[in-house]
């Protein structure tokens, strides 16, 4: 298979995912509370075997499979997509850098949808500049530390059953001196609160007041935590673009249906040149973003050079495209799309966040610019 077209088996798999999501997951999503972890939905993702696809027993997860999974779910139910993605984001440091004991304890629970994971990197003063984090891990005896500080904008916080937490164990500035810890939610001194966000994602804070951790909780190497974070983000960044493409496709489909059925000025909306050209532009941008996402995922899977540039381009184009397409679909629908509960009202709130998290649009442009010059002779 090339990066330019999916094979019949993959197309069929994506169609099955969309149908399964619409039938089994969307009803559970509708019963959930916005901004909170929907545990019945997470459990259903486990029962249907979708979470297990994040942790294949026969080898590493293909980035392209992750993209197809996220795009397909997002097209039918953004809540299901987000629940699955946050499980992967929180657990993948354990997959890539955890000990056998850590993997045996947590990964089966995550895959079954019984344990909720969290990825705790961002802080009130360290968002896009992840290396600037200041959560302190102060030595406590020969093999332990105590965590003091706050994490903010954290997925599934404070409801997650465990969090991958990045803290500063060394005195070195920047990326050096950061260690990743696996911190169960029942540790003393760990609290948090929900944040009421524009998008309906479960997001909150984590506050550490002398929370104890030991060497058994370390993921990877002491002072090597930044590499743990980047390894996870490198895998998941193209799939953020896939999430955006799924939302954009859903908005495009809604616009096509409405423009074909709605009459104005003596005929269907689609026959107005201004609307027809708008639909053509939307479709072209969605397909362009999809192809760039697939190309970035394939580059990751094959170990092709220029991964940082490709991933940044994919996330940049896909998230900006999704914002444009959802907004254009709202415009084509008119006031009805602004009513609470309308698909496009929901997507309008959902689509804004991916332009910020896992590296804002401006950060992606900076990465691309640096990589352009890095590759020059």
Q: Where are the domains of the chain?
A: 8-111, 117-223, 227-374
With cut-offs at 50, 70 and 90, classify the pLDDT of residue 243.
very high
Range 182-188, long-range pairs (CB < 8 A, 24+ positions) = 182/93, 182/94, 182/98, 182/102, 182/106, 182/217, 182/218, 182/219, 183/120, 183/147, 183/211, 183/213, 183/217, 185/158, 185/160, 185/161, 187/211, 187/212, 187/213, 188/212
User: Is the Cα dihedral 320, 321, 326, 327 positive or negative?
Assistant: positive
Mean pLDDT of all residues belonging to the chain: 94
The CATH superfamily holding the domain 8-111 is Acyl-CoA dehydrogenase/oxidase, N-terminal domain (1.10.540.10)
pLDDT value of residue 2: 47
Q: Which of 79, 81, 358, 371 is catalytic?
A: 358
> Is 3 a residue whose pLDDT tops 70?
no
CATH class of the region 117-223: mainly beta
Domain pair 8-111 / 117-223, same fold: no
Q: Mean of the pLDDT values across residues 28-50?
A: 97
Which contiguous run of DSSP H or E holds residue 189? Answer: none
Q: Which residue has the higher pLDDT, 60 or 178?
A: 178
If you average pLDDT over residues 214-222, what whole number do you get?
97
pLDDT confidence of residue 204? 97
For residue range 104-163, list pLDDT tens digits in order.
999 999 999 999 999 999 999 877 777 788 899 999 988 899 999 999 999 999 999 999
User: Nearest to residue 94, comparing CAs of 85, 104, 84?
Assistant: 104
The yes-or-no verdict on residue 180 having pLDDT over 60 is yes
The pLDDT of 328-342, averaged and rounded, is 96
263-314 residue pLDDT tens: 888 889 999 999 999 999 999 999 999 999 999 999 999 999 999 999 999 9
66 has pLDDT over 80: yes
Q: Is 253 a catalytic residue?
A: no
Is the pLDDT confidence value at 344 over 90?
yes
What was the pLDDT predicted at 125?
85
Burial class of 339 by CB neighbour count within 10 A (0 to 12, 13 to 18, 19+) = exposed
Residue range 16-37: average pLDDT?
Answer: 96
User: Where is average pLDDT lowest: 171-175, 181-185, 236-240, 299-303?
Assistant: 171-175
pLDDT for residue 1: 44
Longest dimension (CA), the chain: 80
pTM (global) more than 0.85: yes
* Local confidence band at 200 (pLDDT 50, 70, 90 cut-offs): confident
What confidence tier does 175 reach under pLDDT thresholds 50, 70, 90? confident
The answer to whether 154 touches 204, Cβ cutoff 8 Å, is: yes
Q: Which CATH class is domain 227-374?
A: mainly alpha
Q: For the residues 331-352, what does the mean pLDDT come to? A: 96
């Amino acid at each position: 298979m090339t990066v330019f077209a999916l094979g019949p088996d993959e197309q069929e798999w994506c169609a099955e995912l969309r149908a399964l999501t619409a039938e089994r997951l969307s009803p559970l999503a509708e019963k959930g509370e916005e901004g909170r972890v929907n545990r019945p939905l997470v459990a259903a993702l486990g029962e249907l075997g979708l979470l297990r696809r994040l942790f294949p027993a026969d080898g590493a997860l293909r980035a392209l499979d992750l993209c197809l999974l996220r795009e397909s779910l997002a097209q039918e139910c953004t809540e299901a997509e987000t629940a699955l993605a946050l499980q992967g984001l929180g657990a993948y440091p354990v997959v890539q850098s955890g000990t056998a004991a850590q993997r045996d304890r947590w990964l089966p629970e995550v895959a079954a949808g019984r344990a909720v994971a969290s990825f705790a990197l961002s802080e009130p003063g360290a968002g896009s500049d992840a290396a600037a984090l200041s959560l302190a891990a102060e030595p406590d005896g020969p093999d332990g530390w105590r965590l003091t500080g706050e994490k903010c904008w954290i997925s599934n916080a404070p409801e997650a059953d465990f969090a991958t937490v990045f803290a500063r164990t060394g005195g070195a500035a920047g990326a050096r001196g950061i260690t990743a810890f696996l911190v169960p939610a029942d540790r003393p001194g760990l609290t948090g609160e929900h944040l009421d966000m524009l998008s309906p994602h479960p997001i909150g804070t984590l506050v550490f007041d002398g929370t104890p951790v030991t060497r058994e909780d370390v993921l990877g190497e002491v002072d090597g935590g930044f590499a743990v974070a980047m390894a996870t983000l490198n895998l998941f960044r193209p799939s953020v673009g896939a999430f955006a493409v799924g939302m954009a496709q859903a908005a495009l489909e809604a616009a096509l249906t409405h423009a074909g059925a709605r009459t104005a000025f003596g005929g269907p909306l689609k026959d107005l040149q201004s609307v027809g050209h708008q639909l053509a532009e939307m479709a072209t941008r969605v397909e362009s973003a999809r192809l760039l996402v697939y190309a970035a995922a394939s580059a990751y899977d094959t170990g092709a050079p220029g991964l940082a540039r490709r991933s940044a381009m994919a996330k940049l184009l896909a998230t900006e495209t999704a914002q444009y397409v959802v907004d254009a679909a709202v415009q084509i629908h008119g006031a009805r799309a602004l009513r609470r509960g309308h698909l496009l009202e929901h997507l309008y709130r959902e689509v804004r966040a991916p332009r910020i998290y896992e590296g804002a649009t401006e950060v992606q442009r900076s990465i691309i610019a640096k990589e352009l010059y890095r590759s020059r002779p």
